[in-house]
Amino acid sequence: MLRIAVCDDQKEVLEEICVLLSKYSKNKSVEIKTFQYDDGTLLLSAPSSFDIIFLDIEMKHSNGIEIAQEIRKSNLNVPIVYITNYTDYWRRAFKVHAFGFIPKPFKDDDIYSCMDDFLSLLFSSEDENIILPTVNGCECINLNEIYYFIYESKKNVLVHTKRGQIMVKDNISDIYTRLNQSFFYKTRRDCIVNLRQVQRIQNEYVIIMKDGSMIPLAQKKKEDFMNKLTTELVKNVKGMKV
């Protein structure tokens, strides 16, 4: 089930988006549960986590960009689709990792197209695998289940995954050449992280992964890392110009 938050202080817009998402759910046979918020502060205090967020930028009691900045402090990966009348906000919105924009007044296809892009990203990531040698033979690992690789010794690399730890009999540099480097990043010589599994950045040079692990980031790589992370989050936005 996809959990989708919709935040807009205009009741009619809020309801319209949720109706369209319901129609999309039936047409695509994808189970969707929507959560409605008419104020950004209510979204921030929500106890639930979401797969994607539709967020109005200009609201009476809160600013969508500021709300997104707060969300990004704890979650760097959740796609945020901005709904706005104001094109001036687009550049600022990209700085907090915009997945897409929907202009007001919007058309049904604006919502559907955005959801198509999101599902394409979601489902394509589930099909990517890598085969790695272990002490028990070769093992096929889904790339989306990998949190990070870390050097253990010259020919041993420990892979932290959603299924647990796997010891791989290979060189970390050789492994890196076989990975999809659009979403895997070498933070130091001894570590490779999955950008899709990054939760947040702490104290500038510490990466917190979704499993709670703390990964050091080389100081000289900070700017490049943030650029790659942003690129991974927005690469499926189609036809948008900043």
pLDDT for res 72: 80
More confident residue, 56 or 139: 56
Distances (CA, A) of 132 to 146, 156, 184, 190: 12, 11, 16, 17
Q: Which amino acid is at 12?
A: E
Strand partners, 186: 192
The yes-or-no verdict on residue 152 having pLDDT over 80 is: yes
d(CA 148, CA 156): 14
pLDDT in tens, 11-22: 999 999 999 999
d(CA 105, CA 91): 20
CB 130 within 8 A of CB 143: yes
Distances (CA, A) of 61 to 9, 42, 88, 156: 8, 11, 19, 54
Lowest mean pLDDT, pick from 55-59, 123-127, 171-175, 229-233? 123-127
User: Out of 2.40.50.1020, 3.40.50.620, 3.90.1150.10, 3.20.20.80, which CATH number does the structure's domain 129-218 have?
Assistant: 2.40.50.1020
Distances (CA, A) of 40 to 55, 70, 128, 166, 193: 8, 10, 35, 41, 31
pLDDT for res 45: 92
pLDDT for res 191: 97
CB 130 within 8 A of CB 178: yes
pLDDT (average), residues 171-183: 88
Fold: same for 2-126 and 129-218: no
pLDDT in tens, 98-107: 787 888 889 9
How long a stretch of residues is the chain?
A: 242
The reported pTM is 0.56
The yes-or-no verdict on residue 133 having pLDDT over 70 is: yes
Q: Which fold has domain 2-126?
A: Rossmann fold (3.40.50)
pLDDT in tens, 59-103: 888 888 889 888 888 776 788 898 887 655 555 555 566 787 888
pLDDT (average), residues 189-206: 90
CB 81 within 8 A of CB 100: yes
The yes-or-no verdict on residue 242 having pLDDT over 50 is: no
d(CA 50, CA 26): 20
Distances (CA, A) of 23 to 16, 118, 124, 170, 221: 11, 16, 23, 48, 44
pLDDT for res 52: 92
pLDDT for res 125: 54
pLDDT in tens, 203-233: 888 999 999 999 999 999 998 998 888 776 6
SS3 state of residue 75: coil
All structural domains of the chain with their residue ranges: 2-126, 129-218
Q: Rounded mean pLDDT of the chain?
A: 85
